[in-house]
């Protein structure tokens, strides 16, 4: 009996020992897993478009080393992120289409940190996480991808000179993460330093102060995938830059190519590819830049960025301009030959105060950047070019705002100033609404309190929040505190949270504006303007006239309009594209060849998106849909990745 009991006890002990062994082994495995992977706490995101966690410290400085490999359309790079103080715990970064090679605590370089990269989110990209232990910095070695959404690599045939390659960035709204790992939200502001290793026959510019152009130094590239041997090749040169003021990541920018420049003012150079005709045209177009800077300072306070240089990019640049501090990027379509292209420069200059100095906290408050800047731009234009020119600008914007409201009649959230963009790609909802409705809101406040009081308010606003990122609520609280009683006179909730155009929005009043609108209305009676009436018209006058014509008109009227004024051949793309849109809307097929030519020679989304949309929207225009698909297939590689994505969205929806 005792033997039987002993056997039972032995069997149970073996069973319990086995269970204990399994349990201890599971603990060991779990311990190893958590040692290798950072802990995943519930995230507290601060931005619907970023993995940045509000419980983590924000980097204050980034040191970058870039080796540009043009044959592979790749940058081999390192990014050293510095935190405000030593930190222990998880850290979240945004990346997109980056190959991460290693994550290193610089004080323990022999023991790389473990890291986790999430599956790609279709909007935000990937979530890079790792755990730091009492570290104030972290070094990430990585390479970009040829499919980087911020980078466009141009082959020599795609450039002006046709001889050397070119590459440039466009990081707004959430594309900096495809160039370097970062907390890619405008809530985060960083200083940076950069070393760009490029072929010796090329040069570089950045949204930063240029420090030197020098030979590579041994050891600088040893940690990179490219290696020190390639870094120090005789055919390479290093361009160094520093940005000493904190900026949101979307304002990070560079361009590398065969560059030249012209001096146009004490604080301004105009850069482009080293093509004399382009450089001279740009220098002439932007000769008034210093006057605009001075007017901006008079209106909004000191210009703090030291220089305001301009870079005219190749035709593929997707925007009119990008307000990168110290180095505004511009499309060549602003070179109109009559100085009216300076209008775009006025807008990007105004961003030096509203957008760059004070930034929207997230893209849901984008109007704080663009509404303020549109207002500031028009004040600068009024001071430099006169009230009539500013009124034309406002009138074109007014028409554009009404068109956007019609476009988004089934997506009313987009017509608000303060929007909800959870799960929304900011590129997909980009529109004129934050620009023009934001302008109208500020113009309404100005009319209520008077210009002198509003000017004082603006200066105080900029001085109070400079180098900060704020949201709509912060602005409204400041507004009510500094213009007491304004909420009783202007419905702030309707303006910021309401859909559509508020009833107290305002169409401009000026003699020239009223005359042009009246002439457009007379078109309904069969009257076209006489040549003497339009002899002194520039692009803005024609754009306003065409925007106000009834749509559609008879195809024969489209042809007659062009035979008189050669609008389809205009060198001003604002005029040409507005005319081509009228032709498409009027089912006049005579100009489809000009539409195709235009879509193949420009990359600016202001022109591409409405033309493609006009070709494919509606029923019964199968010929135009076929044309749109054929042109996009032929021209796709000449467009920036941001433009490619926008057009693909349109074609997928309608074709």
Give the other-Cβ count within 10 Å of 412's Cβ.
12
CATH class for domain 364-497?
A: mainly alpha
pLDDT in tens, 592-642: 999 999 999 999 999 999 999 999 997 667 899 999 999 999 999 999 999
Segments of the chain assigned to CATH 1.10.390.10: 364-497
**Residue 321 marked in a binding site:** yes
pLDDT in tens, 249-292: 999 999 999 999 999 999 999 999 999 999 999 999 999 999 99
Contacts of 577 (CB under 8 A, 6+ apart): 598, 606, 607, 610, 611
**Residue 119 marked in a binding site:** no
> CATH second-level architecture of 262-352?
2-Layer Sandwich (3.30)
**239 by DSSP, 3-state: which?**
strand
Instruction: Return the pLDDT at 11.
Output: 45
Instruction: Return the pLDDT at 138.
Output: 98
What percent of the chain is modeled with pLDDT above 90? 90
Segments of the chain assigned to CATH 1.25.40.320: 516-654
**Residue 606 marked in a binding site:** yes
Q: Taking residues 347-353, report their average pLDDT.
A: 98
As a whole number of angstroms, the distance between CA 494 and CA 471 comes to 17
Examine residue 552 and say whether the peptide bond preceding it is cis (omega within 30 degrees of 0).
Answer: yes
Would you say residue 314 has pLDDT above 80?
Answer: yes
Burial (0-12, 13-18, 19+ Cβ within 10 Å), 340:
middle
Does the predicted model carry a pTM greater than 0.85? yes
Instruction: Return the pLDDT at 619.
Output: 66
Superfamily of segment(s) 61-257? tricorn interacting facor f3 domain (2.60.40.1730)
**Residue 319 marked in a binding site:** yes
Closest CA to 380 of 392, 389, 371: 389
**Residue 267 marked in a binding site:** no
Catalytic residues, by residue number, are 348, 435
Instruction: Return the pLDDT at 339.
Output: 87
Segments of the chain assigned to CATH 3.30.2010.30: 262-352
Q: Taking residues 446-473, report their average pLDDT.
A: 98
- pLDDT bucket at 42, cuts 50 / 70 / 90: low
Q: Taking residues 351-364, report their average pLDDT.
A: 98
Residues 537-572 as b/e (b if ≥16 CB within 10 A, e otherwise) read bbbbbbbbbbbbbeeebeeebbbebbeebebbebeb
Q: Given the DSSP bridges, would you call strands 268-273 and 309-312 parallel, antiparallel or unpaired?
A: parallel
Give the other-Cβ count within 10 Å of 201's Cβ.
11
pLDDT in tens, 189-208: 999 999 999 999 999 999 99
Segments of the chain assigned to CATH 2.60.40.1730: 61-257
As a whole number of angstroms, the distance between CA 326 and CA 306 comes to 7
Examine residue 173 and say whether the peptide bond preceding it is cis (omega within 30 degrees of 0).
Answer: yes
**Residue 49 marked in a binding site:** no
CATH class for domain 516-654?
A: mainly alpha
């Amino acid at each position: 009996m005792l033997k039987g009991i002993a056997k039972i006890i032995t069997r149970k002990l073996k069973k319990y020992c086995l269970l204990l062994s399994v349990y201890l082994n599971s603990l060991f495995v779990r311990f190893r897993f958590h040692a290798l992977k950072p802990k995943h706490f519930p995230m507290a995101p601060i931005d619907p478009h970023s993995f940045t966690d509000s419980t983590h410290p924000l980097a204050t400085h980034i040191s970058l080393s870039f080796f540009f490999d043009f044959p592979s359309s790749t940058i081999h790079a390192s990014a050293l992120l510095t935190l405000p103080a030593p930190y222990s715990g998880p850290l979240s970064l945004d990346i997109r289409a980056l190959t991460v090679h290693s994550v290193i605590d610089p004080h323990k370089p022999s023991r790389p940190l473990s890291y986790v990269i999430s599956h790609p989110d279709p909007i935000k990209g990937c979530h890079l996480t790792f755990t730091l232990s009492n570290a104030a910095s972290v070094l990430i070695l990585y390479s970009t991808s040829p499919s980087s959404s911020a980078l466009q690599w141009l082959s020599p045939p795609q450039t002006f000179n046709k001889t050397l390659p070119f590459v440039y960035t466009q990081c707004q709204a959430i594309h900096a993460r495809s160039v370097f790992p970062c907390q890619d939200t405008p809530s985060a502001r960083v200083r940076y330093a950069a070393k760009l290793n490029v072929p010796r026959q090329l040069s570089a510019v950045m949204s930063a102060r240029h420090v030197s152009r020098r030979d590579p130094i041994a050891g600088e590239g040893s940690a990179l995938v490219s290696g020190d041997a390639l870094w120090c090749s005789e055919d390479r040169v290093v361009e160094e830059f520093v940005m000493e003021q904190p900026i949101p990541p979307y304002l990070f920018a560079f361009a590398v190519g065969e560059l030249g420049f012209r001096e146009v003012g004490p604080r301004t150079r105009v850069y482009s590819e080293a093509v004399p005709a382009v450089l001279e045209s740009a220098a002439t177009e932007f000769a008034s830049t210093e006057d605009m800077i001075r007017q901006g300072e008079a209106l909004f306070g000191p210009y703090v960025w030291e220089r305001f240089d301009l870079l005219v990019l190749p035709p593929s640049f997707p925007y009119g301009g990008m307000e990168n501090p110290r180095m505004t990027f511009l499309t060549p379509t602003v070179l109109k030959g009559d100085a009216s292209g300076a209008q775009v420069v006025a807008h990007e200059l105004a961003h030096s105060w509203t957008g760059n100095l004070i930034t929207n906290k997230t893209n849901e408050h984008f109007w704080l950047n663009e509404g303020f800047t549109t207002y500031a731009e028009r004040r600068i234009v009024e001071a430099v070019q006169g009230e009539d020119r500013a009124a034309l600008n406002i009138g074109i914007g007014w028409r554009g705002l009404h068109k956007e409201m019609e476009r988004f009649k089934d997506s009313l959230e987009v017509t608000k100033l303060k929007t909800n963009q959870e799960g929304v790609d900011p590129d997909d909802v980009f529109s004129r609404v934050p620009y023009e409705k934001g302008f109208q809101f500020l113009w309404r406040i100005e009319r209520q309190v008077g210009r002198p009081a509003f000017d004082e308010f603006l200066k105080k606003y900029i001085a109070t929040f400079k180098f900060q990122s704020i949201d709509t609520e912060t602005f409204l609280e400041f507004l009510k505190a500094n213009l007491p009683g304004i909420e009783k006179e202007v419905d702030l909730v309707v303006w910021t949270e309401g859909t559509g155009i508020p009833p107290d929005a305002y169409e401009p009043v000026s003699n020239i504006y009223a005359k042009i609108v009246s002439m457009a209305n007379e078109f309904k009676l069969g009257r076209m303007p006489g040549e003497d009436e339009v002899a002194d018209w520039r692009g803005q006058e024609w754009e306003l006239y065409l925007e106000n014509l009834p749509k559609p008109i008879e195809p024969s009227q489209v042809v007659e309009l062009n035979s008189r004024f050669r609008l389809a051949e205009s060198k001003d793309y604002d005029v040409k594209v507005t005319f081509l849109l009228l032709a498409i809307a009027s089912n006049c097929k005579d100009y489809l060849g000009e539409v195709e030519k235009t879509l193949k020679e420009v990359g600016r989304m202001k022109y591409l998106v409405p033309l493609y949309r006009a070709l494919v929207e509606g029923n019964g225009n199968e010929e135009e849909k076929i044309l749109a698909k054929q042109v996009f297939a032929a021209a796709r590689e000449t467009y920036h990745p941001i433009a490619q994505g926008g057009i693909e969205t349109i074609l997928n929806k309608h074709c």
